[in-house]
Amino acid sequence: MSSPAPIGIFDSGVGGLSVMQKIRELLPQEDLIYFADSAYCPYGICPPELVHNRTLALCDFMVSLGVKLVVVACNTASSASLNKLRELHSIPIIGMEPALKPASHITKNKRVGILATGVTIAGERFNSLIKRYANGIKVISQPCPGLVELVEAGETNGEKVDQMLKLYLDSLIKENVDTVVLGCTHYPFLNPVIKMIVGDGVEVIDTGEAVAKWVSQVLKKEDLKTSHINPGTERFYTTGEPEKVQEVIAKLWNSSRQITVKHVVV
């Protein structure tokens, strides 16, 4: 058995595209639907109840489009609602969490820095992640207000990005971390600048690829892979201003194909 239905991927804004890129690389024939909840972005400074309600609504919308699997390509939304989503829906729901487990294997000096949003860092899921994997490891969590907004504006380099990243990474560098986890899906778009600031001796971990591999394994296990042989398509939706969002998505998605972003009220 196989399924031609699309995979649904969503985030507060354009950050989840960093995950979608890895899914596209690994699963070129699958049809993908991306949803940017731009009218409510950034989630990282919203009350957790609002993030929870948005996440539930977006997942319902995805399911109404007939997706066969949902990727919550947002650490903040996953931290607020993953368990509830799995209770409510029978299709596979895959979420994100800061890659503390791989970081605990990679770090040599047992000092790991995590960049994430305030909601993710304050969440119970994050707390339990630390309890499970931070045995003997010093974890320095750094919230990064303002970074998501820069990526949302399509700014992935330049003076503002440098200044803000230096400010946030400075506290991790001072703590002598040898591993930095990108705990927000917007941050991989800033990776070249992050790597430049932390230098060669520090490993920077992005979870997008691991999530894409997990999606592929789940599709295989559930017999849900498409049997199409043509390249898969992409559809984009937003609750924000479609022209603005389209411009930034076109820049970050970086495909030769013309993209169109449709506005919906969810």
Is-contact 19 208, C-beta < 8 A?
A: yes
C-alpha 194/C-alpha 147 separation (Å) is 12
Residue closer to ligand DGL (CB basis): 73 or 202: 73
Cα radius of gyration (the chain): 18
Residue closer to ligand DGL (CB basis): 52 or 225: 52
User: Of residues 99-138, which lie at the interface with ligand DGL (CB under 6 A)?
Assistant: 117, 120
C-alpha 177/C-alpha 139 separation (Å) is 9
Among 34, 43, 168, 189, binds ligand DGL (CB under 6 A): 43
- 203-206 and 179-182 as β-strands: parallel, antiparallel, unpaired? parallel
Write phi, then psi, for 146 (nearest 5 degrees): 100, -25
Among 58, 62, 71, 74, binds ligand DGL (CB under 6 A): 74
We find the least distance from the C-beta atom of residue 260 to ligand DGL, in angstroms, to be 22
C-alpha 205/C-alpha 179 separation (Å) is 7
- Nearest residue relative to ligand DGL (C-beta): 44
Span near ligand DGL by CB under 6 A; candidates 86-94, 166-174, 178-186, 208-216: 178-186
Span near ligand DGL by CB under 6 A; candidates 6-14, 56-64, 100-108, 195-203: 6-14
Contact pattern for ligand DGL over residues 141 through 160, marking x by CB under 6 A: -------x------------
We find the least distance from the C-beta atom of residue 76 to ligand DGL, in angstroms, to be 4
Tell me which of 41, 46, 59, 184 is the catalytic residue.
184
Provide the CA 118 distance to its chain's centre, in angstroms: 15
Preceding peptide of 42 cis, ω within 30°: yes
Residue closer to ligand DGL (CB basis): 17 or 177: 17
Among 6, 44, 92, 240, binds ligand DGL (CB under 6 A): 44
Among 3, 21, 38, 75, binds ligand DGL (CB under 6 A): 75
59 is catalytic: no
**Rounded-to-10 torsion of CA 174, 199, 142, 179:** -100
We find the least distance from the C-beta atom of residue 81 to ligand DGL, in angstroms, to be 12
Any idea what the Cα angle at residue 181 is, between residues 180 and 182, rounded to 5°? 120
We find the least distance from the C-beta atom of residue 17 to ligand DGL, in angstroms, to be 10
C-alpha 201/C-alpha 210 separation (Å) is 22
Among 3, 9, 10, 12, binds ligand DGL (CB under 6 A): 12
C-alpha 96/C-alpha 205 separation (Å) is 13
46 is catalytic: no
Packing angle of the helix pair 191-198, 159-174 (nearest 10 deg): 50
Is-contact 161 192, C-beta < 8 A?
A: no
Which residues are known catalytic residues? 74, 184
- By CB under 6 A, name the binding residues for ligand DGL: 11-13, 15, 41-44, 74-76, 117, 120, 148, 184-186
